[in-house]
Amino acid sequence: MQLRLAATAALALSPAGAFAVDYMTAEAASRLMFAEAERFEIRDWQLDATQAQAIAALGVKPRSAQWRLRLAYKGKELLGVVVADDVLGKFELISYAVGIGADGKVRGVEILSYRESHGHEVRTPAWRKQFLGKAQGAPLKLGDDIANISGATLSCGHVTEGVKRIVAVVEQARRSGVLS
């Protein structure tokens, strides 16, 4: 009886991270979003102050100045870029990757790791599909062009904000000539 009580207490006190699930790596997400790519090139890039201000002017906080871009190529043609990032769910981080084509439009969103006990519905294909074709200038706002999922409001909102941030970061990288 005491052993059962101790086990129940330990389970009740376990952190929400006990629900963590790793679905794929950023590399696997890159291959999924750009299946026709023959190669990927990693490029580390840093926003300068002007670029960070341009992103902030869109109502998006540029979480970091440092970004790792995965450029997808077929031959010498740039197909697009994949950027992995993290956002806070309710208590834990959600790792995700966004693929953006050379035309600046979202090609895919993949959840890489989900660590929360609730809200995992952001991983459903139907919810992630809403981002396809969005580019800078699209509202990318929860409740407007991106539907909310009851019980996953924070996860939906934070992933949506994260996708908007990555779209803005990639647009700044494109304008600066980093994507070539």
Domain count, the chain: 1
- In this structure, is residue 103 part of a structural domain? yes
Is residue 7, in this structure, part of any structural domain at all?
no
Domain presence at residue 96: yes
Among 106, 99, 170, CA closest to 138: 106
Q: What is the pLDDT of residues 46-55, one digit of tens each?
A: 999 999 999 9
Judge whether 138 and 145 are in contact, CB under 8 Å: yes
Domain presence at residue 134: yes
CB 67 within 8 A of CB 83: yes
Q: Give the number of other CB atoms < 10 A from CB of residue 135.
A: 15
Q: Is residue 2 part of a domain?
A: no
Q: What is the pTM of this model?
A: 0.87
Strand, coil or helix: what is 88?
strand
Domain contains 157? yes
Q: H-type helices in 14-97, by residue range?
A: 26-33, 49-56
Range of the domain at 158: 15-175
Query: Mind listing the pLDDT tens digit for each residue in 109-163?
Result: 999 999 988 888 999 999 999 999 999 988 899 988 999 998 889 999 999 999 9
71 within some domain: yes
Confidence of residue 63 (pLDDT cuts 50, 70, 90): confident
Q: CB neighbours (10 Å) of residue 92?
A: 19
Per the domain annotation, does 74 fall within a domain? Answer: yes
